[in-house]
């Protein structure tokens, strides 16, 4: 049998046969005569027969595969196996990795059982491995995507993800208002790792890929953590974290599964953020609408009704002539008609208003309206360009501010006249409302002054009041941005 093998090897070493076998990935090694025929797959990536005989090629094998390769050779040389079957990655001259499948058999041993001759076949299985990895990766990504799109995953889908990654604990964080807040924990919903989310977030800043952390601090018992930021386009919306109680080496498939899970979470987390933002905006809108309704009722309708009541009381005292009473009744009729019109305007949600108004024509119309309503002289003094304009919201607030100031002057200060001074400069409107009524000993802000202050805050302005005295009028002075 030994002679037949020797004859067979002589045929194999023949030039023609060797060339045919070479194309099939054949290799042979004679450790007695220091001869080696290198397989085509290994020659294609830049190795030589001398590399094989001197074991220099071992240094090119991937570190993750080196142990299994050396263990297989060791079993051959110890006589424990006669055949070698091993898959490993080896680097070419450019540093690219190639998967090689080696099938070899011992055909000659020495008297002390050392390997003398061996032959076999090498095959480059890189394409097959990549296809197989793609298939596995596809299955993993499909499950990861399903878990993410179910917003953090149902228990079933997260359990599938757990089986793929073999994690002990997972957490999903939402990033809002400059802070990361945990919104899902699996499998233990009550458990939260002691490493703060803020510290974890700081570690992830600047990274778009998952980051692996080892030797974690604290007494949680976790040894390894892989965390990934979640971006919606270029905006950070959250992060994911997977914890392991053992030290973990992540394959490309596991790494990409974490990355894909985080990427697929971006839309659900952004939707959650927008939903919460919309709810806050809605709550704010409702609150502002209620305040605006209260201000409108007080500044417009309430003022007209209060003035009407005051005039009715005057008639009831029966001190005036019939002509004066008729004038007062006509005034009351006008005030009540105005109040009814304002109620109708409040109920009409389909009003169309001009977008902008000229400032000084508007202030002139407002002064005339105040004269008609309160039956006292209301003068306008202005200094600025006639082309300055207001938006509708600015016009509405300024009108109500003037109305409230004149009403207070008449009802509380018993003013006989009011002066409106308006000066526009440096994109600001200085609005001063003076009256010649009684100066109060102190000013106690009620709903009227509070309403004026709120409207000014909406406009981005502020108010200063001057009590007057010694011939100086009581003055409300306001600064209102025009831009």
Q: Is residue 327 part of a domain?
A: no
Q: How many structural domains are present in the chain?
A: 3
DSSP secondary structure string, 73-124? Answer: HHHHHTTS-SEEEEEEEEE-TTS-EEEEEEEEEEEEE-TT--EEEEEEEEEE
* Contact yes or no for 127/117 (Cβ under 8 A): no
From CA 464, how far away is CA 483, in angstroms rounded?
21
CA atoms within 13 A on the CB side of 468: 17
Clarify whether residues 120 and 194 are in a common domain: no
Clarify whether residues 430 and 483 are in a common domain: yes
Q: Is residue 300 part of a domain?
A: no
pLDDT by residue for the chain (483 residues), tens only, comes to 444 444 545 555 555 555 666 677 888 888 888 777 788 888 888 887 677 767 778 888 998 899 988 998 888 888 888 898 899 999 988 888 999 999 888 888 888 888 888 888 888 888 877 766 665 666 666 666 666 655 555 567 778 888 888 888 888 888 877 777 888 888 876 555 545 666 676 767 667 788 888 877 666 678 888 888 888 777 888 888 888 888 888 887 788 888 888 887 777 787 777 776 666 665 666 666 666 666 665 555 666 666 666 666 666 566 656 666 667 667 776 767 666 666 655 545 444 444 567 888 888 988 998 888 888 899 999 876 677 888 877 888 898 889 888 888 888 888 899 999 998 877 888 999 998 888 776 666 666 778 888 888 888 888 887 776 666 788 888 988 886
Clarify whether residues 96 and 179 are in a common domain: no
Clarify whether residues 170 and 273 are in a common domain: yes
DSSP secondary structure string, 300-350? Answer: IIIHHHHHHHHHHHHHHTT-S-HHHHHHHHHHHHHHHHHHHHHHHHHH-TT
From CA 190, how far away is CA 184, in angstroms rounded?
9
* Contact yes or no for 331/356 (Cβ under 8 A): no
CATH number, position 55: 3.30.450.20
Whole-number pLDDT of residue 138? 62
* Contact yes or no for 255/207 (Cβ under 8 A): no
Based on its alpha-carbon atoms, the radius of gyration of the chain, rounded to whole angstroms, reads 44
Q: Is residue 259 part of a domain?
A: yes
CATH number, position 406: 3.30.565.10
CB neighbourhood size of 348 (10 A): 8
Domain that holds residue 232: 131-277
Q: Which two tokens stand for residue 282?
A: 């809605």
Among 277, 303, 332, where does a domain finish?
Answer: 277
Q: Is residue 335 part of a domain?
A: no
From CA 22, how far away is CA 350, in angstroms rounded?
87
**Which of the 8 DSSP states describes residue 454?**
H
Clarify whether residues 144 and 114 are in a common domain: no
* Contact yes or no for 217/240 (Cβ under 8 A): no
Clarify whether residues 260 and 136 are in a common domain: yes
Instruction: Kindly report whether the global pTM for this prediction surpasses the value 0.85.
Output: no
What DSSP element (H or E) covers 287?
A: helix 252-296
Which strands make up the sheet holding 169-176, listed edge to edge?
A: 179-186, 169-176, 235-244, 224-232, 211-214
Q: Is residue 302 part of a domain?
A: no
Whole-number pLDDT of residue 1? 40
- Contacts for 262 with CB less than 8 Å, ≥ 6 apart: 148, 210, 228, 229, 230, 239, 240
Whole-number pLDDT of residue 451? 81
CB neighbourhood size of 308 (10 A): 19
From CA 220, how far away is CA 193, in angstroms rounded?
7
CATH number, position 255: 3.30.450.40
Clarify whether residues 154 and 27 are in a common domain: no
Whole-number pLDDT of residue 473? 82
CA distances from 395 to 29, 252, 389, 426, 456 (A): 97, 63, 9, 19, 12
- Give the three-class secondary structure for 438: coil
What DSSP element (H or E) covers 430?
A: strand 428-435
Clarify whether residues 110 and 49 are in a common domain: yes
From CA 419, how far away is CA 28, in angstroms rounded?
111
- Give the three-class secondary structure for 140: helix
Q: Is residue 165 part of a domain?
A: yes
Clarify whether residues 80 and 137 are in a common domain: no
From CA 254, how far away is CA 206, in angstroms rounded?
22
- CA proximity to 146, closest of 29, 138, 243: 138
- Contacts for 464 with CB less than 8 Å, ≥ 6 apart: 476, 477, 478
Among 90, 124, 158, where does a domain finish?
Answer: 124
- Contacts for 296 with CB less than 8 Å, ≥ 6 apart: 342, 346, 400
Clarify whether residues 145 and 116 are in a common domain: no
Q: Which residue matches tokens 């070899």?
A: 104
Among 92, 124, 156, where does a domain finish?
Answer: 124
DSSP secondary structure string, 349-365? Answer: TT----SEEEHHHHHHH
* Contact yes or no for 414/437 (Cβ under 8 A): yes
Q: Which two tokens stand for residue 239?
A: 């992060």
Clarify whether residues 51 and 148 are in a common domain: no
Clarify whether residues 482 and 361 are in a common domain: yes
Provide the b/e sequence for 164-174 (b: ≥16 CB within 10 Å). Answer: bbebbbbbbbb
From CA 49, how far away is CA 55, in angstroms rounded?
10
Whole-number pLDDT of residue 418? 93
Whole-number pLDDT of residue 443? 66
The partner residues of 171 in beta bridges, in order of sequence, read 185, 241
From CA 245, how far away is CA 191, in angstroms rounded?
14
DSSP secondary structure string, 54-76? Answer: TTGGGGGB-HHHHHHHHHHHHHH
435: burial class by Cβ within 10 Å (0-12, 13-18, 19+)?
Answer: buried
Q: Which two tokens stand for residue 136?
A: 């596995």
Q: Is residue 340 part of a domain?
A: no
From CA 262, how far away is CA 230, in angstroms rounded?
5
From CA 207, how far away is CA 262, in angstroms rounded?
13
Q: Is residue 156 part of a domain?
A: yes
């Amino acid at each position: 049998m030994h002679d037949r093998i020797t004859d067979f090897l002589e045929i194999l070493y023949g030039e023609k046969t060797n060339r045919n076998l070479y194309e099939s990935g054949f290799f042979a090694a004679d450790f007695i005569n220091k001869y080696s025929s290198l397989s085509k797959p290994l020659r294609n990536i830049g190795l030589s027969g001398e590399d094989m005989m001197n074991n220099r090629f071992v240094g090119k094998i991937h570190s993750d595969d080196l142990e299994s390769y050396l263990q297989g050779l060791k079993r051959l040389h110890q006589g424990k196996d006669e055949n070698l079957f091993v898959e490993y990655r080896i680097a070419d001259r450019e540093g690219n990795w190639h998967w090689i499948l080696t099938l070899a058999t011992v055909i000659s041993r020495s008297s002390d059982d050392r390997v003398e001759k061996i032959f076999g076949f090498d095959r480059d299985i890189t394409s097959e491995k990549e296809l197989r990895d793609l298939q596995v990766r596809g299955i993993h990504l499909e499950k990861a995507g399903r878990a993410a799109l179910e917003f953090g995953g149902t228990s079933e889908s997260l359990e599938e993800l757990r089986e793929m990654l073999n994690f002990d604990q997972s957490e999903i964080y939402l990033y809002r208002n400059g802070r990361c807040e945990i919104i899902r924990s699996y499998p233990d919903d009550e458990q939260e790792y002691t490493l703060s989310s803020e510290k974890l977030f700081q570690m992830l800043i600047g990274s778009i890929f998952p980051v692996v952390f080892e030797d974690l601090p604290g007494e949680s018992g976790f040894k390894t953590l892989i965390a990934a930021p979640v971006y919606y386009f270029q905006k950070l919306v959250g992060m994911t974290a997977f914890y392991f109680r053992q030290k973990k080496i992540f394959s490309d498939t596991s790494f990409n599964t974490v990355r894909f899970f985080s990427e697929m979470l971006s839309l659900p987390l952004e939707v959650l953020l927008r939903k919460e933002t919309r709810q806050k905006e809605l709550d704010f809108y409702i609150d502002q609408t209620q305040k605006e309704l209260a201000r409108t009722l007080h500044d417009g309708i309430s003022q007209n009704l209060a003035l009407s009541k005051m005039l009715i009381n005057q008639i009831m005292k029966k001190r005036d002539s019939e002509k004066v009473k008729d004038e007062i009744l006509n005034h009351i009729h006008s005030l009540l008609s105005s109040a009814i019109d304002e109620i109708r305007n409040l109920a009409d949600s389909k009003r169309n208003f001009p977008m902008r108004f000229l400032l000084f024509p508007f202030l002139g119309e407002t002064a005339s309206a105040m004269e008609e309503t309160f039956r006292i002289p209301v003068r306008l003094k202005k200094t600025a360009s006639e082309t300055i304009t207001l938006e509708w919201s600015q016009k509405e607030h300024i009108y109500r501010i003037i109305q409230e100031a004149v009403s207070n002057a008449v009802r509380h200060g018993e003013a006989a006249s009011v002066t409106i001074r308006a000066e526009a400069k440096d994109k600001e409107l200085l609005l001063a409302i003076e009256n010649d009524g009684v100066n109060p000993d102190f000013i106690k802000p009620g709903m009227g002054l509070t309403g004026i202050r709120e409207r000014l805050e909406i406009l981005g302005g502020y108010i200063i009041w001057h009590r007057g005295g010694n011939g100086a009028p009581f003055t409300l002075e306001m600064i209102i941005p025009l831009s």
